[in-house]
A and B are shown apart, each in its own frame.
Chain A
């Protein structure tokens, strides 16, 4: 896919974010921000009785990359099981955004991973689990995808 495709996709999701809003009775509610650029995301996940993602929404303010990342992520995760959320990788969201094709630098990868970070913190918190030292790389912006 060309960089033009990804660029258009990011602008499209930025201008018309999917699943934008909040969910009152969501079991997972989490807010994350990047103090460096002031980007801020709130993520809401409502699980059905089988533990599948019945609904997922986000809101917040951010740049095109972080907003598109949140929007794309909600699309990718709807209907998924809790286990799928745990195993969802950085690479999956970065690939959906076309980060490699776009040649975005580490500063912008931070923007792209802000919603992902919120997801991981939210899911772990919901499960009553601490993010272990080995799993901390999940949240590490600098680590390879």
Chain B
């Protein structure tokens, strides 16, 4: 692609699912914050593995196993380069949730003691709250939450006040899956380091949508999921600084994560394999490598520019709908392509059902962020989230669907 802007209609042709009709209508997929669709390049990479070189990795000396191992490690190198890390700093997990649990159970259990503090924000996904609650219960540590304001931005004075309590861990989302807020993680990481905390970034909603550079952010750990970035379901990534990963105990024990086992004990394998116990989802890791190739062929700057343009258009068009309540910041540089909203008088589930009849997939519910929704004072919202194959016409269809819902509910 050599034009300045990406063309969603051209991109769509790479995604077999868009041949699908929903109730006879074309699929308009606006639930990309939950999971994205896969291009045929990813599906092909997985098929190619199973048809041509299916074998377990790091085991055999035979041809197939060597090819499988090479492809698996090659995918790791692609992921590393994608976020500007070293290969040995990339650990494959099942998903971002497991990556965050790995840090909580390994670093957390090893380093936290009674009275220590963990600092999170009120806009975290459950996956960046519940592991810490479990570890806090285990160790007697306490959790503080940075609040967000009416605009959906973290309250800066509170960031400073809570950091002054001297947390050992600061774990924050890069981009909120409900509010769409993009947090200035670089600044918070810097401040966290000043008070001696380790800094963890939940990048599930940022890595797929914008250039992310772990060296630039300076974080100690960063987690994301492949399936939110065109990759297959079942592979997540943990980035961790070498020095920290080295000192940490393994999270899971088993095959592949050891260098030597005797009846009285074991020694751990080198990084990153120390953290990859058991047989990995090899084909899916290779699929994630293909997804990254695909995103690189477009360029993450273009991905972000496209989403900014769509978000701008969507905010304008949605605002035309009478009575609509849109959550999150309005400034485009502080926002990712996630828009949560409510139409008073229509429950988000009813809204999602009516949109479904039009072939439009949106999410309705609490988005695995109940503390956040409690703060907004609602039990649920509808949410539209965009990606590279979405166009302005998808947003027009969404707005049309909202008017239809209003007619059905006689509003």
Chain A contacts to B: CB under 8 angstroms: 7, 11, 14-15, 36-40, 61-65, 104, 107-108, 111
Contacts and interface: CB of A to CB of B under 8 A. Distances in A.
A64 B346 CA distance: 8
B34 interface: no
Contacts of A11: 408-410
A116 to B, nearest CB: 17
Contacts of A40: 379
A114 to B, nearest CB: 11
A7 B357 CA distance: 13
Given A11-B408, A11-B409, A38 B379 contact: yes
Contact of B365 (A15, A36, A65): A36
13 contacts: A7-B408, A14-B409, A36-B365, A37-B380, A38-B365, A38-B366, A38-B379, A38-B380, A39-B349, A39-B379, A63-B350, A64-B409, A107-B349
Given A14-B409, A36-B365, A64-B409, 5 more contacts: A7-B408, A15-B410, A37-B347, A38-B378, A111-B349
Contact of B353 (A36, A39, A62, A108): A108
A34 to B, nearest CB: 10
Residue from B353, B364, B408 with most neighbouring chain A CB atoms (10 Å): B353
A65 B410 contact: no
Contacts of A38: 365-366, 373, 378-380
Across the A-B interface, give the 8 residue pairs with the lowest CB-CB distance, nearest first.
A38-B379, A63-B347, A63-B349, A64-B350, A38-B380, A63-B350, A37-B349, A37-B380
B206 to A, nearest CB: 26
A68 B282 CA distance: 49
Contacts of A111: 349
B349 to A, nearest CB: 4
B379 A37 contact: yes
A141 B349 CA distance: 17
Contacts of B409: 11, 14-15, 64
Contacts of B364: 37
Interface in B394-411: 408-410
Interface of B: 346-350, 353, 364-366, 373, 378-380, 408-410
A7 B410 CA distance: 12
A104 B408 CA distance: 16
A37 B365 contact: yes
Contact of B347 (A15, A64, A104, A107): A64
B349 A61 contact: no
A39 B380 CA distance: 9
A72 B49 CA distance: 55
A122 to B, nearest CB: 22
A15 B364 CA distance: 21
Contact of A61 (B353, B365, B373, B379): B379
Given A11-B410, A37-B365, A62-B347, A104 B379 contact: no
Nearest to B370: A35
Nearest to B366: A38
A17 to B, nearest CB: 13
Nearest to B378: A38
A108 B410 contact: no
A61 B377 CA distance: 13
Residue from A61, A64, A104, A107 with most neighbouring chain B CB atoms (10 Å): A64
A14 B353 CA distance: 15
Given A37-B380, A61-B379, A108 B349 contact: yes
Nearest to A107: B349
A11 to B, nearest CB: 6
Contacts of B378: 38
A112 to B, nearest CB: 11
A18 B373 CA distance: 29
Contacts of B365: 36-38
Contacts of B348: 37, 63
A107 to B, nearest CB: 8
A104 B352 CA distance: 12
Contacts of B350: 63-65
A7 B364 CA distance: 20
Contacts of A104: 353
Nearest to A61: B379
A110 to B, nearest CB: 10
A71 to B, nearest CB: 14
B267 to A, nearest CB: 45
A33 to B, nearest CB: 9
B313 to A, nearest CB: 29
A11 B379 CA distance: 21
Residue from A11, A36, A37, A111 with most neighbouring chain B CB atoms (10 Å): A37
Nearest to A7: B408
Contacts of B346: 64
B43 to A, nearest CB: 26
A64 B349 CA distance: 9
Nearest to A38: B379
A11 B409 CA distance: 6
